[in-house]
Structure formats: C-alpha cells, structure tokens
Amino acid sequence: MERLSALGAWREYARVQRASGRRIGLVPTMGALHAGHSSLFEAARSNGDLVLATIFVNPRQFNDAGDLMKYPRTPELDHHSAEQHGVGCLVEPTLEEMWPDYPNPTATTVSVRGISDTLEGAGRPGHFDGVASVVAKLFAVTGPCRAYFGEKDFQQIAVIRQMVRDLALDVEIVSCPIVRDGDGLAFSSRNVLLSPEARARGVALSRALRDVQKTRGCASVQRRRMREVLEESGIDVAYAEVVDPITLVPTGDDEVGERRALIAGIIDGVRLIDNAAVFVEARGT
C-alpha cells in the first residue's frame, strides 16, 4: 500500500494511475476506521477500481470545538485496516496543506443551499459548508474518479450529489448500504465514545426505524412513532423526520410512496444518526 501526504504527490499518483488505464475509487474518511469503511473499500475493489482512501479530520465541518477534540483517532489501526481491505493508496494530508490559513477562516467556501439547511444542517450550523468544501478539494486533487460514501450519512450524500451536479464535476458518486453491528446499531466512528449503557440505549435508533418500516401510516404518524421509541429509551431527540429521498423536503400527510426516514439522537453528549427507506400512506387510507 502506497502512503502519501503531500497534495502534489497525491495528484500525480492519481494521474499516473489513470494514464495506465486504471480507474480511481476514492473513499474519503476521517479515520477511526470500522466495518462500514471496510465495506466501502470492498465495494470499490469489486467494481474494479484502484482504492484511494483519504484520512483527514476536517476541522471546518465541526461547529463544536469540543466535538473536534474528542473525535476518535486510531492511526495505527487505520493503517492496518486499510491495507487488509485492499486500499492501494492511503493519503493522510496535513492540516497545513488542506487549509493553509487555519484557524483563520478560509476565503473560499462551497455552500449547497437548501438541502444543507435542514436536519443535520439545522442542528450543526456550518457543518455541510465544511463537508462540501473539503470534499470538493478531495475531488479537485484526485481528479476524475468514482467516490464511495456510506448511506448512514444520507444527507451528506444528497449534498455531495447536488454539488457534483451543479459544478459538473467529473466524479461518479456511489452510495453503499449501511453496515450494522449485531445489535442493529449502525457502525460509526463515534460509537467508541459510548459507554456500555449508552450503547444499549443507542440501539433504539435502529429499532425506531424498523417499527415505522413495519407499521405503515402517514408521515406524521411515522414521525411521532420514531420520537416515542427514542424518548422511551431516554434519548434526546434532535430530529425524527420523513422526507423525499432526493430533495429531503418533508413529506406531507397527503403523500403516498417510498420516502426516507432520518433520525438523530444525543446520548450522554454523543450524537448518533441513522436512516432507512420507508413507505408512507396518506392520512385516512
């Protein structure tokens, strides 16, 4: 496995690989790799791509300095995991190269209006501006590629798809299914911050989603049921929403069809998110 940090070397590596006929499968991460990341590496490999993974804890997407400080970092384990799962090149750019003016504000920001403003965007102001800006930079340095993202961060994928469409970037976005632990909790780098008791309560997120998948109803009924399940487990509910899977516009009670349920809860200061496809029925049907 090749290991790089300089942006110039990274750009040249990708160029040489494409010139030799290989297609780059980019997997952006913030490290603390887990089974969800491994599934992205394997998806890229199964598509015949050369896997280029990045590890960069992007400070511009954290609106809480304390959250940034406690974000898990496991570099040695990450290197081993990346190599074991077929990563051809692991890039760990420095903060100085990615954001030369940090901690001062960067003059250029990529902002995807509308789709960034709700759900996670409402609870974490500036978060998606930081995400869109760093991902745009990853795409700019890598060049034409396929980029793999996990569906646990469903809103993030929607934001990035919109950015790629609006800017006509030569990048194909590939979304991959959520990977869950045996108890149903979606894999997340933040899970290591949970105490055993908090983790046991966190399983309520996936249970709430399963409930609304099995019990059809209008959108407001599904929203209420998800909140009830989370609150019964002592979880501070950030949101429990049912939306259009493309635009993320909330679903009305007169609408019918496939939608996406997205939930977020805070347990002992740790924010967890999850989502699932659901079917909604019009009120009174």
The answer on pLDDT for 284 being more than 90 is no
DSSP label of 251:
P
Share of the chain above pLDDT 70, in %: 99
Q: Alpha helices of 168-244 — where are they, by DSSP H?
A: 196-202, 204-214, 219-232
Beta bridge partners of 236: 266
Coil, helix or strand at residue 2 = strand
144 phi, psi to nearest 5 deg: -50, 130
Mark whether 85 is an active-site residue: no
Binning the chain into helix, strand and coil, the percentages to the nearest 5 are: 45, 20, 35
* Nearest one of 210, 215, 275 to 243, comparing CA atoms: 275
List of long-range contacts for 73-76, beta carbons under 8 Å, 24+ apart: 73/31, 73/32, 74/31, 74/32, 74/33, 75/31
Domains and CATH numbers, the chain: 2-176 (3.40.50.620), 189-274 (3.30.1300.10)
In tens, the pLDDT along 176-226 reads 999 999 999 999 999 999 999 999 999 999 999 999 999 879 999 999 999
Q: Which residue among the candidates 34, 37, 85, 127 is catalytic per the annotation? A: 37
For the chain, give the number of residues.
285
273 phi, psi to nearest 5 deg: -130, 160
Residue 249 tokens read as 């516009």
Q: Is 0.85 surpassed by the pTM of this model?
A: yes
In tens, the pLDDT along 235-276 reads 999 999 999 999 999 999 999 999 999 999 999 999 999 999
For residue 247, how far is the Cα from the chain centroid?
17
